Each structure stands twice: as structure tokens, then as C-alpha cells.
Amino acid sequence: MIDLESVSVELDGRLVLDEVTVQLDQHRIAVIGANGSGKSTFARVLDGLVAPTRGTARVLGFDVAREAKRMRAEVGFVFTNPDAQILMPTVAEDVRLSLKGSGLDRSTIDARVASVLAAYGLAAHADAPAYSLSGGQKQLLALASVLVREPKLVIADEPTTLLDLGNARRIGTLLIEELPAQLVVVTHDLELAARCDIALRFHEGRLVELGDPAAVVERYQREFA
Ligand SMILES: Nc1ncnc2c1ncn2[C@@H]1O[C@H](COP(=O)(O)OP(=O)(O)OP(=O)(O)O)[C@@H](O)[C@H]1O
């Protein structure tokens, strides 16, 4: 459950989120809108990466400003650029790092890492250097490293932007149809947005529309017709 009450964010003295109030319990939540409209800032508030300047934000029952550390144990954030989150030299080590401190025993960790690498088509690259992967494979690795922790909520900021059509479809289907967790996806891919359960549209820092994704997408497209 996501519950924002009059959340405003000011960065460098500029209002980038303006009094956002919203409650969301849908499984697949799309966030759309023009460049600079505040989508990424909204996503970062949900993960505690950006603190509200005013208002309160609760995610999975946690106050994001005061309980960010506990909340992050349950939330996975996927960045647009996978290089921002790939930390370890090899593919398998990067996935394994996500389970550090999980309290799981070694054989359970081995099994989880192997199963996630297989699920994302990366098993053959397990011992390869992460830098040797293609952009799409890196995005798959970034996702695998987040999802191996089995978060309850996944926040993905434009996860298909860097991908070719095949990989974008593959990741889109994985996120929309296969991911067990709740998903918030910030995207310019309006087809992907339309496949969600609800869409939110931001404009100049304000949440200007939310509802049936096909209808929200259609009205957005009509503005540019
Ligand atoms: N750290 C920062 N300091 C100052 N301004 C910022 C900062 N981060 C973002 N902004 C500004 O806040 C506004 C909203 O940015 P945000 O990244 O949330 O938009 P967005 O809708 O995700 O855009 P895009 O589609 O281009 O990714 C922009 O005008 C941006 O320049």
C-alpha cells in the first residue's frame, strides 16, 4: 500500500512535486508524463531516496522519512541506467551481493542465485565480467539483483528505455505478467503503461490524472495529436 498525503518536494529551491495526495493498492501502477514533470522524483519518494519537504508518505506501512532503512528491506528500486546499480565484477557475484545480510544459508543463496540467473537468461554468463554484458543483459542483471531479494514492492524508473525492442518486450512482460511483487513503473512506453492496472499522470510536479490506464494514456496522446 502506498499512501501519500500532501507530499511536496523542493530541490534547490524549486518545487518539483506539488501537494501529491494518492492512495494506491493496485498490483501494477504506471507513472507517465512529460520530461521533468516529477515522475522520477515521485518514484524516489516512494523508495526514501528523496525526502518529502512537506507532507507524509507511507509505503508498506512505513513512514518513508523516518523508517527508510526498514522499508528498503521490502522495496526494490530499479534504476534507468543499470550501470548505476551493478557493483560486483561478475554477474553471479552481483546477484549474490543482494542477498548479503539476508540471513539465508549458503546453499539457499546458491540455489536462489542460480534460479534467478536462469530465469533472466543469464545462466551462461554467471562467471562473466558484468562489464562484458550488452545494455539489455545489464538491465536484466540489474533486475535479477533486485528481484532475487523477493521484495514486496518494485519501483522501476524507465526500465526499458535503454533496451532494444526484443529486450524491452521481454522485460515488459516479465514486469507486468510475471513479477509476484507490486510494481510502480515510471515509463515513456505508453503500451507498457496501458497494460498496468492504473496509470498516474504527472504534469509540472502535480498529479493531474489517475485512473484506467488506457483512458489516461489516450487523453495524454490526444494532447499531442
Ligand atoms: N537534484 C535535483 N536538484 C534540482 N532539481 C532537480 C533535481 N532532480 C530533479 N530536479 C528537477 O525536478 C524536475 C522533475 O524531475 P524528474 O526527474 O522527477 O522528472 P521526470 O518526470 O522523471 O522527467 P524525465 O521524464 O525527463 O525523466 C525537473 O525539472 C528536474 O530538473
88, three cell numbers: 560486483
**161: helix, strand or coil:** coil
pLDDT of residue 136: 83
**In a shared domain, residues 144 and 116:** yes
Query: Average pLDDT, stretch 125-143?
Result: 88
Q: At what angle do helices 165-173 and 135-147 cross, to 10 degrees?
A: 10
- DSSP conformational letter for 32: E
User: Buried (b) or exposed (e) across 173-193, using 16+ Cβ within 10 A?
Assistant: ebbbeebebbbbbbbebbebb
Average pLDDT of the residues of the chain: 92
**What is the position in ligand 1's atom list of the atom closest to the CA of 33?**
21
Do 153 and 123 touch, CB atoms closer than 8 A?
no
Residues 192 and 203: their CA atoms lie apart, in Å, by: 19
150, three cell numbers: 523477493
- Tell me the pLDDT tens digit for each residue of 51-94: 999 999 999 999 999 998 889 889 999 888 888 878 888 999 99
Residue 36 near ligand 1, beta carbon < 6 Å = yes
- Complex confidence, ipTM: 0.94
Place of cell 515513456: 188
> Which of 151, 159, 184, 7 shows the shortest CA–CA distance to 72?
151
- Tell me the pLDDT tens digit for each residue of 138-163: 888 988 999 899 999 999 999 888 78
- CATH number, domain with residue 68: 3.40.50.300
**What is the position in ligand 1's atom list of the atom closest to the CA of 158?**
27
pLDDT of residue 135: 82
Domain count within the chain: 2
Determine the residue type at 210: L
Determine the residue type at 30: A
Closest-CA residue, ligand 1 atom 25, reads 35
**In a shared domain, residues 62 and 172:** yes
**In a shared domain, residues 56 and 143:** no
Residue 14 near ligand 1, beta carbon < 6 Å = yes
- Band (pLDDT 50/70/90 cuts) for residue 187 is very high
Residue % of the chain over a pLDDT of 70: 100
Instruction: Assess whether pLDDT exceeds 80 at residue 31.
Output: yes
Which domain does 115 fall in, by range?
A: 82-150
**In a shared domain, residues 67 and 177:** yes
